[in-house]
Every structure is written in structure tokens, then in C-alpha cells.
Amino acid sequence: MIKLENVSFKYENAYVFENLSLTVKDGEKVGIIGESGCGKSTLLKMIAGLNIPTSEEINVDGEKDPEGIIKKVSVVMQSPMLLPLSIIDNITMGHDHDEERIEKIIEAANLKKWTDSLPDGLNTYLGDRADELSGGQAQRIAIARAMFKDAGILLLDEPTSALDGENAASVLEAINRFTSDKTVIHVTHRREHLNGYDRIFMMKDGKLIEA
């Protein structure tokens, strides 16, 4: 379960939101929509333990400490961070892996066609070239990383924003299959990406309003 009670967050002297509360039950799928700059991504980062609330605390699956929270969640941000490692190491983060499982994840994240075209495939070293990847390639690597971590809670921030319609639909379908038994909070400006979700909120003026 994810529980926020009277949580506030501010940059310098300006509050992004104040006294905000939200409870997400285990296995629940919750979407958050709203205009750019309304605080959706800030809220998601706070739930992920990446932003520290100005007041009160967050409880994510029994964890209140940011370091503990990070271990409990998988996160796909709109602009994912890639490391100067190979593609496979960016997905597994150096952990042991089963080849068959990796193959399924690569296909689900729509990475196979691209990685098969590379001379070294999944062992291609990104290095400084990570900055040269398209937004879609970076997002798909981040999605594969989240699938590999397989945490019980998945936090999504516009996970398909850099993909075209066909690729976005395919990846969203894979995400929905992958998260059938998981708790999900999905931030997006496209409500149609939240079909089948249990609850949808709109963030406006620092408040969450059930839509």
C-alpha cells in the first residue's frame, strides 16, 4: 500500500502542493492526469523516494525512509537516466539474469528489432553515446529495466511520450500485461492511456481531484 497524508512539497518558497493525501491499495491501478507543470512528475518522484517532502511523511509498502522506498519500487521517468554501460547492464544493473527471461523482456519492451541490428547486440556499450540515443530508445531501455527489477510497485511518468502511436500502443499493452498483479501509479496527459485503471485523478492547483 502507498499512503500519503497531508504531504507538502515546495521549491524554494513556492509550494507545488500542500497538505495532499492519497492512499493506493495493493494491486490498485491509479492514473494521474493534468497539464504540464502542474506537479504530477514532482509527486511521482516524491512517492519514489527521489524528492523529499517538505512536511509529513510517505509510507510505501511499509517503508518511510527514501532508501528503503527506492528498493520497493520500479520507476520509468519521462527522461530516464542511462549509465555508461552496455545495454544489457543498463537493463539488469549488473545483476545475474536468465537469458530466456531477458529475451522476453526485450521483446515486450520493443527493443529486439533495434538491438538485433547492432553489431554487438545487447552487449553494445553505450558510454558517452547514451546521450545520442533517441528518446524512444532510452524509454524502452528504462521500461525493460523496470520489468527486470519486477518490484511490486511500478511508477510511470509518461512512459511512452517519445514513442510513435503504434510503438506506444504495443509497449502500453506489454506494461499492462506485466503489471496485472502489481500496484501502479501512472502519470500522463493522455487519459486514453489509462483505460481499465481503477481510479483516475486530475492534479490541479496542487490538489488531486478524482476524475
What pLDDT, in 10s, does the model give residues 12-67? 888 999 999 999 999 999 999 999 889 999 999 999 999 888 877 799 999 999 89
pLDDT at 128: 60
Cβ neighbors of 86 (< 8 A, separation 6 or more) are: 120, 122, 123, 124, 125, 126
Please choose, from the candidates 202, 206, 201, the residue with its C-alpha nearest in 3D space to the C-alpha of residue 19: 206
Q: Please compute Rg for the chain using Cα positions.
A: 17
pLDDT at 129: 57
Which residue ranges form the domains of the chain, and what is each CATH number? 2-210 (3.40.50.300)
What is the C-alpha to C-alpha distance for residues 158 and 188, in angstroms, rounded to an integer?
Answer: 5
What pLDDT, in 10s, does the model give residues 83-115? 889 999 999 998 999 999 999 999 989 899 999
Confidence (pTM): 0.91
What pLDDT, in 10s, does the model give residues 149-181? 999 999 999 988 888 878 888 888 888 888 989
What is the C-alpha to C-alpha distance for residues 166 and 159, in angstroms, rounded to an integer?
Answer: 14
What is the C-alpha to C-alpha distance for residues 36 and 172, in angstroms, rounded to an integer?
Answer: 21
Average pLDDT of the chain, as a whole number: 90
Number of CB atoms found within 10 A of residue 211's CB? 15
- Record the cell numbers describing residue 51, joined without a space: 524528492
Q: Residue 44 in 3-state DSSP?
A: helix
Binned at pLDDT 50, 70 and 90, residue 131 comes out as low
